[in-house]
Chains A and B, each alone.
Chain A
């Protein structure tokens, strides 16, 4: 074996990643070649330098407690009816409080499925605005964002580029709503961000736009072609409606193109 040949093997050799044959070939060359043998020595010296524990950052003691409480709080919020644990009772109590507050504002009789979804959507939107949470795939190119979801979701969310209509795409991420993983697409309008949550639904009955306000955020939701859409933003309702319209128009253009 040549020295170049060994250079391609030496990483695997020092890391113990070569098969038996590879090891034998590497050792044979190292026996005869002083230059490569010295190189190996240097590789091993470098590896040795890592063995001191001090390069490893252990989590600060307070972080464990902080994460435990965050995990428990989040686990409670996502608990579903049917679980009989006391945590569910606590979560139910807090849900009920929010729902009661919601009723008195809306003068509605009881929280519907949409009501609970709206809360989850707003929570998802708020979470996404917190540091480091907005996108898993950051791209203004719909052809980069759409394939990213392949293999991460059991459906293919429609991804439209609305830059010509004044709503450039920022990216996408995985999120969780309505008891399932969903696609969250992020669009921008000036300084405002819009989260568009998309997931499939068998329920075709409702294709009208419905509007809700929660915690100062406007939400518009509709369903179309087997998908449910929830758009949420701190944008004013008028512009959010324009966004929904642009999206629906663009989607129907796609539909027509397919049918042609």
Chain B
């Protein structure tokens, strides 16, 4: 009898991570149809490289490919988003923190989604991988191809930005 074919092994190992792949591509492209195209492209690439994959964390491996495919797409279609736009580091002094907590606790999902979409892509991706995929700093560093220290500082800056976004809009925040 033949062993299971490569394609069957691939489907068994990689297809279960389709949701994670789509979630990342969707947050990076911010569009349903483009995310689907990017994910399909990423799966075909993954199939080609599957022979060289030595095992380990399949989800992180796939997410690396999805992330690269998303960036390729961004370079072709949204190159202005990749032009580094370092957002200002100015963060309020934090004197009146109690109201901030109340606002954050009352922040609804829609607002948080908007805040995320407003982040530059390299900050958005670390938040998605950390908060929605629950990946460790080390795995995120591997996927985004940056040192762990960079992951940490991007997370810190992204979170400051999200907090600012969620608490500085008077019409939002409270349910």
Residues of A at the B interface (CB closer than 8 Å) are 11-12, 15, 17, 35, 38-39, 41-43, 45-50, 52, 54-60, 63-64, 66-68, 70-72, 74-76, 78, 83-85, 87, 130-136, 138, 174, 176, 181
Do B27 and A57 have beta carbons less than 8 Å apart? yes
- When distances are taken between beta carbons in the complex, the residues of chain A under 8 Å from B11 are 68, 71
In the assembled complex, B7 has its CB within 8 A of some CB on chain A: yes
Interface residues on B, range: 35 or more
Task: Tell me what chain B mostly uses at the interface: helix, strand, loop, or mixed.
Answer: helix
- Please give me the residue from chain A that is nearest to B41 by CB atom: A132
Name the distance in Å between B40's Cβ and chain A's nearest Cβ. 5
The contact sample of 15 A-B pairs, CB cut-off 8 A, is A12-B137, A39-B94, A49-B107, A50-B131, A55-B116, A59-B22, A66-B36, A67-B15, A70-B43, A74-B48, A131-B73, A132-B69, A135-B75, A136-B72, A181-B48
Given contacts A11-B152, A17-B136, A131-B37, contact A48 B69 (CB under 8 A): no
- When distances are taken between beta carbons in the complex, the residues of chain A under 8 Å from B21 are 59
Do A43 and B159 have beta carbons less than 8 Å apart? yes
Do A181 and B52 have beta carbons less than 8 Å apart? yes
Do A84 and B101 have beta carbons less than 8 Å apart? no
Do A59 and B39 have beta carbons less than 8 Å apart? yes
Do B76 and A134 have beta carbons less than 8 Å apart? yes
Name the distance in Å between A160's Cβ and chain B's nearest Cβ. 22
Given contacts A49-B107, A134-B72, contact A75 B5 (CB under 8 A): yes
Interface set, chain B 93-144, CB cutoff 8 A to A: 94, 97-98, 100-101, 104-105, 107, 109, 112-113, 116, 130-132, 136-137
Given contacts A42-B163, A55-B116, A68-B15, contact A132 B101 (CB under 8 A): no
Do B10 and A38 have beta carbons less than 8 Å apart? no
Given A35-B97, A131-B77, A134-B72, 20 further pairs, Cβ under 8 A: A12-B152, A42-B104, A49-B104, A49-B107, A55-B112, A55-B132, A57-B27, A59-B19, A59-B36, A60-B32, A63-B22, A66-B36, A71-B11, A74-B44, A75-B5, A87-B5, A131-B37, A131-B76, A132-B41, A136-B68
